[in-house]
Amino acid sequence: NAGVTQTPKFQVLKTGQSMTLQCAQDMNHNSMYWYRQDPGMGLRLIYYSASEGTTDKGEVPNGYNVSRLNKREFSLRLESAAPSQTSVYFCASITRDRGYEQYFGPGTRLTVT
Amino acid sequence: AQTVTQSQPEMSVQEAETVTLSCTYDTSESDYYLFWYKQPPSRQMILVIRQEAYKQQNATENRFSVNFQKAAKSFSLKISDSQLGDAAMYFCAYRPSQGWYGGSQGNLIFGKGTKLSVKP
């Protein structure tokens, strides 16, 4: 049981390049989330997926797209990376057990130059 | 909109002593969850403790306890017998609803964090 996994752990992009951040969970959770974390800020929600086949915008969705490929996988795509997207990205999933605890992946540190 | 405020960007504590991290939040909901997460240098977000708003009793987990004041919308974290491994960023978080746990109701609203240093 690996929990929530994310790939890659680190990535450097040039402005205008595209990439996809991968996230997978093996806990059979229905809902999954993408957050970004910037210095001096908490985590802010980019997109979420309440269940397989549905996705919705969070607080800071501009410049991103998501795909809920199946129940396990939820990917985040940057179509044309910008320096403002330099951040640490976290994927999370939620369980109704244990007080609706969110389980977080290890994060991806993305730098856009 | 709900907000979470951590007024202490940085705190420091001597090893073996006690420290309290502050958190206030703003909501019009009556039912919700509150959380403290720890983020060590490894970046991993680790749940420290949770509190259900409908419970009057303060949550405790070993050396970690909270002081939950619902009327004042305050949720502070007390760390007793501080250890070097407690050094980390600590985030207070609020979850708007305990009804349907998925979708937007599952979204956590985070404070900006408190960086805790532990001196040997």
pLDDT in tens, A32-78: 999 999 988 889 999 999 888 899 999 999 999 999 989 999 999 99
Q: How far is A26 from chain B (nearest CA, A)?
A: 17
**DSSP single-letter state for residue A93:** E
Residues 13-52 of A with CB under 8 A from B: 30-31, 33, 40-45, 48, 50-51
pLDDT digits (tens, 9 = 90+) for B25-69: 999 888 888 999 999 999 999 999 999 888 889 999 999 999 999
In this structure, chain B runs to a length of 120
Q: What angle do CA B26, A91, B12 make, to 5 degrees?
A: 55
In this structure, chain A runs to a length of 113
* Rg for chain B, CA atoms, rounded: 14
With b meaning 16 or more CB within 10 Å and e meaning fewer, what string describes A17-41? Answer: eeeebbbbbeeebbbbbbbbbeeee
**DSSP single-letter state for residue B103:** G
Non-local (6+) Cβ contacts of A39 within 8 A are: none
Judging contacts by C-beta atoms under 8 Å, the chain B residues touching residue A98 are: 50
Q: What is the pLDDT of residue B105?
A: 60
Span B8-14, average pLDDT: 97
Judging contacts by C-beta atoms under 8 Å, the chain A residues touching residue B91 are: 42-43
Q: What is the pLDDT of residue B102?
A: 54
β-partners of residue A30 are none
With b meaning 16 or more CB within 10 Å and e meaning fewer, what string describes A79-92? Answer: eebeeebbbbbbbb
Q: How far is A100 from chain B (nearest CA, A)?
A: 7
B4 touches chain A (CB under 8 A): yes
- Cα–Cα distance for residue pair A24/A75, rounded to 1 Å: 8
Q: What is the pLDDT of residue B99?
A: 53
Structure tokens at A109: 């540190």
Q: What is the pLDDT of residue B96?
A: 76
SS3 A106: coil
Confidence of residue B1 (pLDDT cuts 50, 70, 90): confident
Q: What is the pLDDT of residue B119?
A: 97
Calculate the average pLDDT of chain B. 91
CB A11 within 8 A of CB A31: no
Alpha helices in B5-100 (DSSP H): none
CB A64 within 8 A of CB A76: yes
Q: How far is A58 from chain B (nearest CA, A)?
A: 8
